[in-house]
Chain A
Amino acid sequence: MISYLLRRSAFLLVSFVIAMVAIFVLLRLLPGDPSNALLSVTATPDQIAAAQAQVGADRPVLEQFATWFGQLARFDLGESFISSLPVGPEISARLAVTVPLTLLAFALALVISLVAGFVAATRADRWYGILISGISQLGVAVPVFWVGILLVSVFSVGLRWLPSGGFPRDDWADPADALRSLALPVITVAVVMSASLTRYVRSATLDVLGSDYLRSARAQGSGRGEALWRHGLRNGAVPVIAILGIELATTFLGAVVVESVFSLPGLGSMLLKAIQQHDYPNIQGVLFVSTLVVLVIGFLGDVAQRLVDPRLRVSISGNR
């Protein structure tokens, strides 16, 4: 297991470095001049030159590359081209929105899909089991922002229960206030995420229900619930855990999309604005953090899967 952890960590580090280089290079390959975002339609030649100097767009790409990686090594994400403000503090301020949004949405999606998937599998012959399967099929095809707009028009503009967007100025100083702002975005992401998760849970449960070991357990006298609890849960959990890492990363991306629908000051709105303005340090900063998050989630997912499923430990790492 330790050698596996070491190998997996090395893999994590290498993929991260490759990702960072790719992000840097791809941004520079895009057409566009970041200094343009500083100009007005009456900019003078002097001001055009000053804008180019401010963003450092006149410096050689290799030098920019060296500067950025040098800063990264010191955990410094640099300064925005456009605002001249440091990138790191802005990202950490925005994580206070995106991280709770992602985790709450993921938790809610997990709860919904475990219940719905289990019911859909164990009651596959009842009308509500079929209904759940149908809805989850449909849910996979629905875009996140559309659900967001729908929820706003019902619960916010219609019923006035929840705010239509925004986040408290004092962040989490009043947790109830912050939760109120996050309620609709969380539900939006959770509803969409739970559709695909429900399908995974349902098929995993169906597999377990039709398995030989469960039948054997029942034959030895276990009740249906006890057999499922003692034997079904762990077996059924393996395929679900395998996709949880990917699903969590997808939830993170969903959160990023939904932020602009709800005017939330998270990473997603920061990224969108930075892309519009060709603000490379901000784009690189956000992608740095999000790539790191996704890769670490993948890492943890793989490790968790090994802990739950002894067959993986024996057959793969044991042989190598």
Chain B
Amino acid sequence: MKKNIAFVALGLATTLLLAGCASGADSSTASAGDATIEIGSLYEPQNLSNFGGGGQGVTEAFNGNVYEGLYKLTDDGSVAPLLAASNTVSDDGLTYTFTLQDGVTFHSGKALTSADVKASIDAVLADDSQSARKSSFGAITSIETPDDATVVVTLAERSISFIYNLSYVWIINADATDLESTEDGTGPYTLGDWKRGSSLSLTRFDGYWGDAAANSEVVFNYFTDATALSNALLTGEVDIVTSVQSPDALSQFTDNADYVVSDGDSTTKEILVFNDRVAPFDNVDVRKALYSAIDTKKLLNSIWGDYGTLIGSMVPPTDPWYEDLTQVNPYDPDLAKQLLASGGQPDGFEFTLDTPSYDPHPVVAEFVKSELAKVGVTVNINTISADEWYTKVYKAQDFTATLQEHVNDRDVVWYGNPDFYWGYNNPQVTQWVAEAEASTTTDEQTAKLKLVNEQIAKDAASVWLYLYPQIVVAASDMSGYPVNGLNSQFFVYDIALN
């Protein structure tokens, strides 16, 4: 009996080991243009629709790759035409006429017409739409399609960001159904397989209207654990990691000639958000005091090492209205104490910081707590789940201060909304935000939003602790991948294996 069992054990172990060695070689050995690119990501889509809560994963995998808009936001933050060949704007700025690219077909074979564009914009505006851009299109009064290649959109008031906002609207075949698990876009790739919980593959679309993709297949491999993701890169199971979320793992790649670490621009801001409606944070001096009491440089360094950027306001460097405002509220504990005194809190005070339980917020909260203790302000850290954050902080606005990351570009305009959860209410800022949107030129818009930017910094509407780095790590034989993480998009069509 002993012998038999030993044989079985040996047999099983051998099978497993043989299986291990059999296909141990790397699979991406095809010629350059036909390579399969393996990408590692932490953001699996929930579903494949960007109207129904697909999350940032569907943007990463599909935006510009499977679906295209009339315009696209390029990796450097500018807006370029895509499915729109040209457009004209009426003198009053209210009527936009778009001419569509010739020869565009959907993956299903149907030709793109203006009716598809109208249906796609209508879907964003629908009552049950979860699209993050719904509120941006409030000015639209009508969408006309005089012929198959022309779309005319009429607005109720000027909207300088209209073209930019269109870069978020995917043009989808109006006849397509089941957009939660299939797709019908015009992009350089079609959906291959989506294995939920594991991976999603994109296959080069032979009927693409523009330049064909530089690779034949791209696979997004999804991980829930950052260490597992690093291991997959180390063992060659993935070629590129879209966004490294912790600097701890980076040392394995920075000093290794087999990998390239890119430090790009992100638009994700870590913010200490005050409830500006409630005491003591309804007082500008108190808010400024807290800003000056926190050594943001030391905080950024302790979390990200040499990566990341300090910001003095809500605007990241890739937004057109960026200015360096880091010295408006300098780190200066003595100044902080003076401001506390002039704000009516000479002996300090105590407040509760609602801290989301996931990284990096708990570490940031501890740092803020120790910094503020030095100027006599006591922080009580209240750890809450992401779910509780939405219920308590966002919907009920029942909080004194909280930590949150805001990921989008051009989102300084939320300080012009007095009903927003942080309760910043400066009528002058609200007016500037409205005027910026009604601008006739982008220069005018930029000038107005710079005013907003400067004013919220002077008012210390929130404490903008730092801008996350966007770190892409790739095997050194890869080229053509995007290095900036604007709005989570990740264009894969230029990636090639050298």
Q: Pick from A21-29, A48-56, A128-136, A214-222 the stretch touching chain B.
A: A48-56
Chain A interface residue count, CB cutoff 8 Å, equals 76
Contact B1 A233 (CB under 8 A): yes
Question: Which of A156, A161, A166 is in CB contact (< 8 Å) with B221?
Answer: A166
Across-interface contacts of A166 in B (CB, < 8 A): 198-199, 221, 232, 237
Shortest Cβ distance from residue A295 to the other chain B in the assembled complex, whole angstroms = 25
Contact B46 A54 (CB under 8 A): no
Given A36-B390, A85-B47, check contact A263 B222 (CB 8 Å): yes
> A290 vs B343: C-alpha distance in the bound complex, in angstroms?
59
Question: Which chain A residue has the least Cβ–Cβ distance from B16?
Answer: A183
Question: Which of B24, B232, B404 is in CB contact (< 8 Å) with A165?
Answer: B232
Contact A33 B390 (CB under 8 A): yes
CB neighbors of B among A246-265 (8 A): 260-265
Question: Which of B235, B385, B387, B395 is in CB contact (< 8 Å) with A48?
Answer: B395
Size category of the B interface is 35 or more
> A170 vs B198: C-alpha distance in the bound complex, in angstroms?
11
Contact A265 B196 (CB under 8 A): yes
> A320 vs B23: C-alpha distance in the bound complex, in angstroms?
59
Contact A33 B197 (CB under 8 A): no
Contact B22 A180 (CB under 8 A): yes
Across-interface contacts of B19 in A (CB, < 8 A): 176, 179-180, 183
Shortest Cβ distance from residue B38 to the other chain A in the assembled complex, whole angstroms = 10
Question: Which of B12, B224, B407 is in CB contact (< 8 Å) with A108?
Answer: B12
Question: Which chain A residue has the least Cβ–Cβ distance from B133?
Answer: A42
**A76 located at the interface, meaning its Cβ lies under 8 Å from any Cβ of chain B in the complex:** no
Contact A169 B180 (CB under 8 A): no
Shortest Cβ distance from residue B178 to the other chain A in the assembled complex, whole angstroms = 10
Shortest Cβ distance from residue B44 to the other chain A in the assembled complex, whole angstroms = 8
Contact A169 B198 (CB under 8 A): yes
Contact B52 A39 (CB under 8 A): no
Across-interface contacts of B1 in A (CB, < 8 A): 118, 225, 228-229, 233
Scoring A residues 39 to 65 as 1 if CB is less than 8 Å from chain B, else 0, what string do you get?
111111011101101100000000000
Contact B134 A44 (CB under 8 A): yes
**A198 located at the interface, meaning its Cβ lies under 8 Å from any Cβ of chain B in the complex:** no
Question: Which of A83, A111, A170 is in CB contact (< 8 Å) with B180?
Answer: A83
Given A83-B46, A176-B22, A278-B387, check contact A54 B197 (CB 8 Å): no
Contact B47 A83 (CB under 8 A): yes
Contact B224 A273 (CB under 8 A): yes
Contact B232 A44 (CB under 8 A): no
**A112 located at the interface, meaning its Cβ lies under 8 Å from any Cβ of chain B in the complex:** yes
**B201 located at the interface, meaning its Cβ lies under 8 Å from any Cβ of chain A in the complex:** yes
Q: Pick from B60-68, B108-116, B122-130 the stretch touching chain A.
A: B122-130
Question: Which of B12, B196, B225, B408 is in CB contact (< 8 Å) with A111?
Answer: B12
> A152 vs B394: C-alpha distance in the bound complex, in angstroms?
41
Q: Pick from B2-10, B92-100, B147-155, B452-460 the stretch touching chain A.
A: B2-10
Can you give 9 A-B contacts (C-beta < 8 A)?
A: A41-B404, A46-B134, A160-B24, A165-B228, A166-B232, A169-B193, A169-B219, A180-B20, A263-B198
Q: Which residues of B contact A (CB under 8 A)?
A: 1-2, 5-6, 8-9, 12, 15-17, 19-24, 46-47, 52-53, 127-130, 132, 134-135, 180-181, 193, 195-199, 201, 219, 221-225, 227-228, 231-232, 234-235, 237, 385-388, 390-391, 394-395, 404, 406-408, 411, 414
Nearest 7 A-B pairs (CB), nearest first?
A265-B197, A265-B198, A36-B390, A164-B231, A38-B53, A83-B47, A179-B19
